[in-house]
Amino acid sequence: MNTGEEIHRIVDWRRKTKEDVFAVVTDLFRGTPMPRRFTATSIMLIPKNDSPQSWSEFRPISLFNDTNKILSKLLDTKISQALPDLISPFKSGFVPGRLIADNILLGQEMTHILT
């Protein structure tokens, strides 16, 4: 398959996926219950060596549904955009670009001014 065909397949896949995800999110915001398969997780055991003899020789891995990952990322993106407006400018947790060190320095300056 040449690069041009691959690009067309990817663009077509993204268009179809976008429509499906939009429909699911719209249904969820309208109150439609989320299907159980969206939040289902499978736990698989990956052997650490060729012939595992005990449980400690396995590595567990969680396999999430793709839809759940997409919805989680969408919500994460939207919430992170809204948080700076909802959280006081004097709070530094959970807001990108705000550092706890800024509050520590502010506290030290206030202590210095007041004493």
Specify the higher pLDDT residue, 91 or 2: 91
Q: Domain boundaries in the chain?
A: 34-114
pLDDT of residue 60: 93
Q: What distances in angstroms separate CA 94 from CA 86, 87, 105, 106, one per listed residue?
A: 11, 9, 19, 19
Token pair belonging to 98: 């705000």
pTM of the model: 0.43
Percent of the chain with pLDDT over 90: 16
pLDDT digit string, tens, across residues 61-94 = 988 877 777 778 888 888 878 877 887 777 776 6
Residues in the chain: 115
The pLDDT tens digits for 14-30 are 888 888 878 888 888 88
